[in-house]
Amino acid sequence: MAELPSKVHLTSHPICLRILGNSVYQDEKQRTWLHLVMETGGALQVRLRQEAIPSGHISLTTSTLTSSTMPFMWTIHPGNQYLDCMLRFWRIVHHIKEDDMEEMILELMEDSKDT
């Protein structure tokens, strides 16, 4: 009988995520995170998936889409939210670990769009 995947909701989040390359962020533990921008009913969300990426496979330039819509850095703040370098707050929708894959979804908070 196959084992069911183990899904755990995490409460310990990366302290800082900095852009490393096109679609790739790196946390303070040198772990790489791939990002995907999602529009859900008008709310801007970003899905970050922790994945080991060899440094030779990371583009050193950021795409136009990344540089215009995505922050270069997020830092954790109280209340399960991140503050980006553009002074916008992002709430942590969920942060899970399923088997060995970690995923986090951040949502731009409504009152941060005008900042």
Q: What domains can be seen in the chain, in order of their start residue?
A: 8-112 (2.40.15.10)
pLDDT of residue 7: 86
- Report CA-CA distances (Å) from 95 to 2, 74, 88, 104, 110: 25, 15, 19, 4, 20
pLDDT per position as a tens digit, 25-44:
999 999 999 998 887 777 89
- pLDDT, one tens digit per residue, over 40-82 is 777 899 999 998 877 665 555 444 444 457 899 999 999 889 9
> According to the model, what pLDDT value does residue 65 have?
45
pLDDT, greater one: 5 or 63: 5
Predicted local confidence at residue 100, as pLDDT: 82
pLDDT at 115 over 50: no
CA distance 78 to 68: 26
Q: What pTM, to 2 d.p., does this model score?
A: 0.80
